[in-house]
A = this chain, B = another copy of it.
């Protein structure tokens, strides 16, 4: 549609005739005057249909909720209309007529009426609500923010394969694929392949792609398939170099998001999104446990934090440092994978970190062990089958720089940006144990 004006741009066309298009909502027939809202991806506007525009007036009764229409008419400033503007429709065309009965309401407020499950069944209608479309808009900005940081700082992009010959890290919770006359497995993370990029001398890489976890888990945080943001960098001195990169990347993304959408986030989700100060606060696991003990939070997991502990330590940091983020560092070997490097002066601790945001873990990172003999020893200690990871161990035999990186869950960041309760709302189309459709 060549001359279509996006609804957000109508205010620069007051007094002129324009053409808009979108979904028809809130249809009200008040006899001689008829109203409806037209909604496109940029906003919504009230259209008023008067008796003297005969064709439009006659057509009006055929319009069903959520039909796609085009409206030609005069843009007017109108105090009583939502947004202070309306279009006096001279010409309406139904571009795509919706069936008269919608399976879920799209426009009405009060989502409490429709269950989340039913909304997910009809996700394409659910996403028409401007608050849900906002989630997709902000995902776009969030990812662009990460990518801009990466490409501006000489990271190269890799797309590692999702098919693997053996189960990637732990062997548990892996999906099995019928692969011609043998079996393949779906990658649980690009971990091995981004480390391969370090052995290949690419020095700094990132990857954005799906990861697959066959966990039979039904929590509000888990999905069987989700997008991971992964980065890995070489020639580091310690995992602090990784932390620095990560916090700057997050900072840059949140700056971009608040610049464009702070008001929309506030309006639709009642959330004031602060730009986090640099550097982010840090606590070692030992320090965190001490603080939690003082706060009398039960120590449920040795050397690791329970969801309740994650919440409480974030509350503490928020109060003390006025910061929504906190790095927890120096996890014990017992709760970390074999490839995390260990502290020189304390072999029980790893050079690793998690990043928590308002009570939820959004990232795990570490310096990796790049010394072949040490790595083999650590794999054996964890009881791994060396045959299955031979291709990975080989990466470290022919020269490999010191390196580290992180994996981040953008859907968890989306949850925290909006204060959502469920990861099912944070993704375009959720996949879980019991959900493979639409």
Contact = CB atoms under 8 A, between A and B. Distances in A.
Interface of A: 1-2, 4, 21-24, 39-41, 64, 66-68, 95-99, 102-103, 123-125, 127-128, 133, 136-137, 139-140, 143-144, 147, 151, 154-165, 175-180, 184, 186, 193, 196-197, 199-204, 208-210, 212, 214, 216, 224-225, 227, 235-237, 370-371, 391-392, 394-402, 427-431, 433, 436-438
Contact of A401 (B95, B237, B436): B95
A200 B162 CA distance: 29
A210 B193 CA distance: 15
A11 to B, nearest CB: 18
A401 B225 contact: no
B96 A235 contact: no
B401 A163 contact: no
A195 B365 CA distance: 36
B66 A96 contact: no
Contacts of A235: 1, 4, 21
Number of copies of this chain that the complex holds: 2
Contact of A436 (B140, B165, B212): B165
Nearest to A185: B436
A398 B21 CA distance: 15
B177 A128 contact: no
Contact of A237 (B2, B22, B177, B395): B2
B124 A199 contact: yes
Contacts of A1: 235-237
Contacts of A157: 136, 139-140, 143-144
Contact of A209 (B158, B210, B429): B210
A177 B433 CA distance: 13
A202 B123 CA distance: 12
B156 A438 contact: no
Given A95-B401, A225-B162, A395 B124 contact: yes
Contacts of A193: 428-429
B401 A133 contact: no
A179 B391 CA distance: 27
Given A21-B235, A41-B156, 6 more contacts: A103-B398, A125-B398, A140-B155, A158-B428, A193-B429, A394-B438
A155 B140 CA distance: 9
Contact of A177 (B154, B186, B398, B401): B186
A193 to B, nearest CB: 7
A300 B324 CA distance: 65
Q: Which of A2, A125, A201 has the most CB of B within 10 A?
A: A201
Q: Which of A137, A202, A236 has the most CB of B within 10 A?
A: A202
B201 A428 contact: no
A96 B147 contact: no
A161 B95 contact: no
A390 to B, nearest CB: 9
B96 A201 contact: no
A375 to B, nearest CB: 12
Contacts of A147: 144, 147
Contact of A160 (B41, B158, B216, B429): B429
Contacts of A201: 22-23, 39-41, 127-128, 133
B399 A66 contact: yes
Contact of A429 (B137, B161, B427): B161
Contacts of A139: 156-157
